[in-house]
Amino acid sequence: MEKVNIGDELASLDEFWSQKILGEANGTLIKVAKGVGEVRWHKHDDQDEVFIIYKGRLTIQLRTENIELGEGDLFVIPRGLEHSPRADEEVAFVVLGVNLTSNREGGKPEWSYK
């Protein structure tokens, strides 16, 4: 058991749209990430994806509507639902899920790779 400071972990990230695992509880991975710009359209067929906004604003683009999230907001994307997160300015967030992808298949834009 180890205490983790979410703000410190977010500050240590040097790549956008890459998730860093902070811990695991009851089979759920707890991750942090930062983003700016737009992620490719994608879906997760085997899991729901939970976003909790820590700092900034994030738009979850769905095919039928856009969901605007601000600090303290939580949104669950059901498995199989196509989506594309977008941040006009840098956003920091917590992600909950099982084996969440943060790679090309999971929508990560090519420009965000080092």
Q: Domain spans of the chain?
A: 6-108
Which residue, among 85, 46, 90, has the nearest Cα to 62 in the 3D structure? 85
- pLDDT beyond 80 at 109: no
6-108: CATH class = mainly beta
pLDDT score of 1:
76
Per-residue pLDDT band for 99 (boundaries 50, 70, 90) equals low
Across the range 3-8, mean pLDDT stands at 97
Rounded Cα gap, residues 8 and 27, in angstroms? 24
Closest among 86, 75, 78 to 17, alpha carbons compared? 86
pTM of the model: 0.85
Report the candidate in 82, 83, 85, 100 with the shortest Cα–Cα distance to residue 30.
Answer: 100
Which ranges of the chain would DSSP assign to H, the alpha helix? 6-11
